[in-house]
Structure 1
Amino acid sequence: MTPGALRLDEHSLAGNLLTTDTVPAPRRREYWREALSRTFGAVDMSVAEEVHSGTIRTASLGGLQVTTVDGDPLEARRTPRLIARGDEEEYVVVKLLSKGVARLEQDARDVGVRPGEVFIYDMARPVRLLLPECFRTKSIVLPRQVLGLSESDLREITASPLASDTPLGGLLSVLLSRLADTAGSYRPYAREVLARSVVDLLNVLADERLGRTSEGTPSGDAAMLVQIRTFIGRHLADADLTPEVIARAHHISVRYLHKIFEGEGITVSRWIQSRRLEACRRDLLHREAANRTIAAVGHRWGFASAAHFSRVFRAAYGMSPSEYRDTHRP
């Protein structure tokens, strides 16, 4: 928080609730902007000159955050400047528009969103969200790495609203709405199970968009593949993440693990390496990593050898990690 910025009153934070109801009218606009930024991360937030009311309710769900927001019109931008700062974990937001209308811009898409539709955006890339009238949204915010999706796969599901009359759209809209209303009432174990279910659904959505769901794929194999990708995403920084470790964690044989990945056209080890390389590439673009050595960046994401990291990075991106950082960093 910048010097002199408004600090949120402690009584407003009780019960995971932020509200303008108890804030004097002259202070509401500044309070509301900070409340939104605290909830959704570093964004350029534009709100009306006069804020009448706003409420944010949050609850944790495993490693995810569930949030309901009621408020006046606003515009939020995640800019390249904010992304380059690299001072926070990267998140994906899955949002249900319950009331009002919205417009979302990301990945060269500019789409309108209607009540009842679910949409997804990635905080690691520039995004603009416009809510031009009073609105209600229900969101799940999850760390990007948990999904275990590649950069290109993730782009397939961002800024593409899902209508509630589609199979996955209907399932996600009901799930989001119920979780937002009840997340705080579940026991820890139930929260973990529900969080995994959300991640699994998003992986199924990516597979459907990419045409990877085939009639000949056994449903058990497909479900196991989703779980394994999620597991890899959660343990990407672990240098000891091997096919043996993954198989043991899922109570399957290494042979069966390799069989599941055969249909993906890639080995388990290559999948892990490609996810690690993407995580390193994003780190190299962050201003926060400017003083880190190349070896430190690689080590953070499970590359024990700096020489091996540089070699596979060059093979994937056509230049060394240091050249990539010098060429692409803002």
Structure 2
Amino acid sequence: MSLVLTTASVHDRDKIAYWRDAVGRTLGPTAVAPRGDGPFSGRITTDRLGCLQVSTMEADAKRVSRTPELIARSSGAYTVVGIQVSGTATLVQDGRRAEVGEGDLVVYDTTRPYSFDYPDRFSTHVFQVPRRVLGVPGADLRRITGTAIGPADGLGVVLLPFLRTLATSAHAYSPVVGAKLADSVIDLLGTLVAERTRQVPTDTDATRALLVRRVRSHIDRNLGDPDLSPEDIAKTHRISVRYLHRLFEGEGITVARFVQQRRLEECARELARRGRTTPTVSAVAQRWGFVSPSHFSRTFRAAYGLSPREWRSLRTVEDSVHGVAEGGDGPRRGVPPVADLPAADHQ
């Protein structure tokens, strides 16, 4: 079901404040400066397809910027693809300036400062992909940010119609189909980066990179399954366990440890959330694939230096003190990386 945020029923004097909060919740902390003196009008519709967030934004003229200070308040790192549906925009990032017309595509990175200027009312599709699943080196990604790609420009011939159709129909797909479509977007975006940077990997390199991305996406979709194991993952992808381990040698982490790391990160995020209802620590652990509460507590402490209950208390206090509300699906405060984990045993 789509999430719709609109100024339509908001009092004129509150529209700007509402819109700033809506943009922050959807796209992460940004500074929004409307142009013009009249009542502001805006609408954002958002859907999820696996790890991909798809939004369509229609609004009056404005300027949007993301500063180092706002980036420091963010918990997630995303590669974003924007498609200009109507109106025009100017994107500035990494020292480049892109004039974006109707039908054009731009790529930008939420971990570095950028700004968008929309001189008139506009509509745009926004696709947010977590950087961790994209599998593209930051240096390569930086080479294509701040440039506009037209519908007749290289891979744009294929990518733009596909993304436009996906944006208008995202609400209609089942979770299983949505996850597969998200994988396709990730693959196409990786191909776009390779094309624009004029890199032509060997068939072996391309196949390996594609398979690693699919395995990582499969793991993310199935973290709650306690039976998720290297054997299960290899069987699903019709490869041997030995070959699966070889794939992850290049990732600097074993498959089992990667599964455990991702489970711990999701548990840490959920424990840090505030809400009307607070699930028990054991319920959170079970939701993310840990069978034994005692094993979960030991593993969590080894990774974060705190017990799950201590982590929850500390993060709740920090959240109350800072009063920061983030957009997207991450926690209100960042989750530090998991390091020096004990050996995983698939619990």
- TM superposition score category, shorter chain reference: 0.5 to 0.7
Deviations 1:81-139 (A, max 9, x none): 122234x2122211100111111111121121111011111111111111111110011
Q: How does 1:68-83 map to 2 (within 5 A)?
A: 68-83=56-71
8 Å Cα contact 2:87/2:102 also seen in 1: yes
Any idea what SS the aligned residue of 1:58 has?
strand
- The residue type paired with residue 213 of structure 2 is R
- Displacement, 1:300? 3.0
Q: Identity of aligned pairs, percent?
A: 36
- Displacement, 1:172? 2.0
Over aligned residues, Cα RMSD in angstroms?
3.5
8 Å Cα contact 1:164/1:170 also seen in 2: yes
Task: Decide whether aligned partners of structure 1 residues 271 and 233 sit closer, same or farther in structure 2, where only a CA change above 3 A counts.
Answer: farther
- The residue type paired with residue 44 of structure 2 is I
8 Å Cα contact 1:157/1:205 also seen in 2: no
8 Å Cα contact 2:135/2:213 also seen in 1: yes
Looking at structure 2, the residues matched to 199 and 180 of structure 1 have their Cα atoms a distance apart, in angstroms, of 15
Aligned to 2:72: 84
Aligned to 2:341: 304
Any idea what SS the aligned residue of 2:65 has?
strand
Task: Decide whether aligned partners of structure 1 residues 83 and 188 sit closer, same or farther in structure 2, where only a CA change above 3 A counts.
Answer: same
Matched, 1:128 2:93: no
TM-score under structure 2 length normalisation = 0.65
- The residue type paired with residue 102 of structure 1 is A
Looking at structure 2, the residues matched to 235 and 193 of structure 1 have their Cα atoms a distance apart, in angstroms, of 13
Aligned to 1:149: 136
Q: Unaligned stretches of 5+ in structure 2?
A: 224-228, 259-302, 306-334, 343-347
Any idea what SS the aligned residue of 2:32 has?
strand
TM-score under structure 1 length normalisation = 0.68
8 Å Cα contact 1:91/1:122 also seen in 2: yes
Q: How does 1:277-296 map to 2 (within 5 A)?
A: none
Say which is worse superposed, 154-163 or 189-198, in terms of deviation: 154-163
8 Å Cα contact 2:144/2:197 also seen in 1: no
Task: Decide whether aligned partners of structure 1 residues 127 and 196 sit closer, same or farther in structure 2, where only a CA change above 3 A counts.
Answer: same
Looking at structure 1, the residues matched to 133 and 250 of structure 2 have their Cα atoms a distance apart, in angstroms, of 18
Q: Match for 2:203 among 211, 217, 223? A: 217
Aligned to 1:288: none
- Displacement, 1:190? 0.7
Q: Unaligned stretches of 5+ in structure 1?
A: 1-13, 262-267, 277-294, 306-330
8 Å Cα contact 1:204/1:226 also seen in 2: no
- Displacement, 1:78? 1.1
